[in-house]
Amino acid sequence: MEKMHYTVHINATPHIVWDVLWDEDSYPLWTAPFSEGSRAETDWKKGSRVLFLNKNDEGMVAEIVDNVPEKFMSIRHLGMILKGKETVDDPQAKDWVGAQENYELKEENGGTRLNVSVDIVAEYKDFFEKAWPQALGVVKSLSEE
């Protein structure tokens, strides 16, 4: 796994950016570059499970490692949901077990600097190098509306 880093400056408060990232209405909009129709089923509380699902109800199982509202969110992947069943034994799932996503928001120059670091499986690097900048562009647009 390789850790990738992305940063975007957004002309909005951390409160607004945080809401765009984790609100159930805006989450599918900014995550569409990864998977059209995706959604997250969780309460986003520290220690809670998260189901990141596509329109076919397949995807990732994760947990919220840390949640400091309007400042930091850390997510660790635990496995996958394939054909309606949770698995950690599938070879594809094993590649992602333990992968982390960290979102850090900092007030900066009247706006917010959003830093994202994510663990990426090598075979998906090209895909994510295109999708992450697109996704963060949507976060920026929605936050600045």
Distance CA 138, CA 141 (A): 5
Determine the pLDDT at residue 80: 86
Q: What mean pLDDT is predicted for residues 127-139?
A: 96
* Amino acid 93: pLDDT: 66
Q: At what angle do helices 14-22 and 125-144 cross, to 10 degrees?
A: 130
Question: How much is the pLDDT for 121?
Answer: 86
20's enclosing H/E stretch is helix 14-22
**What topology is assigned to 2-144 in CATH?**
Alpha-D-Glucose-1,6-Bisphosphate; Chain A, domain 4 (3.30.530)
Half-sphere exposure of 130 (CA within 13 A, CB side): 7
The residue-averaged pLDDT of 101-121 equals 96
pLDDT tens figures, 55-83: 888 889 999 999 999 999 999 999 888 88
- Which pLDDT score is estimated for 24? 93
What are 3-51's pLDDT values in tens digits? 999 999 999 999 999 999 999 999 999 999 999 889 999 999 999 999 9
Higher local confidence (pLDDT), 143 or 84:
143
